[in-house]
Structure 1
Amino acid sequence: MTKVYFNHDSLCVEVLSARDVIPLDPNGLSDPFVVLELLPKRLFPKTHEQITNVQKKTLNPIWDECFEFGVSLEACRSQQATLALSVWDKDVLTADDFAGEAYVSLSRVPGVNSHAPPDPLRPIELPLMQLHDRNHPILQILESRTTDKLAIDFVKKQKLRFAEQ
């Protein structure tokens, strides 16, 4: 569950909780954390990804953490402006495991195309997506777009995730 809204030159993201995270540790649990990132980078060149704390040994983590991104309203109104939330399982001796990701179109976020976010702001539930097939047709189509830097960067990032698993 997440709350996202635009308020006074900042995009505010509240990462509340998740449920039924896939078990990625030998004990049948996970140590999940969330990476928040604004995309595409050309719209948000000065923002950096932000990360929640790790919630140990759980499939139903509660973070209740707030993050702010100092961004312009104009950038958020772009049809391409997106908040990416990636869930990972923290590992000590090996690379962290990718658990899934979700995306929020910023043009639909309260406060972006309206004057103020509603009060009270209702949380949204974002189903996590996972791409299991490194030869998925969507990745092949994106990879064939050799002049599209965004598509190529996206495919590279996905291939890195496959390599880490």
Structure 2
Amino acid sequence: MQDTDNTGDAIGVRWPELLVAVFLLALGVVVIVDSLRVGTGWADDGPQSGYFPFYIGLALAGASGWTAFKQLMRWRTVEVFAEREQLRSVLAILLPMVVYVAGVAFLGIYVSSFVLIGYFMLRHGKHGWPLTLGVSVGVPAFFYGVFERWFLVPLPKGPLEALIGVA
């Protein structure tokens, strides 16, 4: 712990901790308000729909409110959250995952998974093309067989699957 803001090439803990606490506090308040809307008491047949979510929202709001309060009380204390190089490593994984999630909505889960697995194997795993193509095709094909054929659970499909008649 340091008393100055001279942390060099690091990100302090103040803002990330406070922003996450405020976000979770707001989320807890939304859960509480919606639980009150649907009812938080007991009906003749048991708890109403909002009974359990209300108490979870209350716990979430209380814990995050306390965290935000504590962070504001020790605002002048500078602690290191992460070095910039550590954040680069996190972003190297986070950004492709965000693209993957968006890709599932437009391309379907199988094509997006093929691209994501291939990217990670080539970029981060430094594997060759034959292994990358085998795994990138094999993993989505395996999950297609397990979920779509065996368990009969449809997963999101995109235009390519519709084109080849899998949709």
Report the TM range for the smaller structure's normalisation: under 0.3
TM-score, normalization: structure 2? Answer: 0.18
Which of the pair has more CA radius of gyration?
A: 2
> What TM-score comes out, normalization by structure 1 length?
0.18
The structure whose residues are more often helix, as a share, is 2
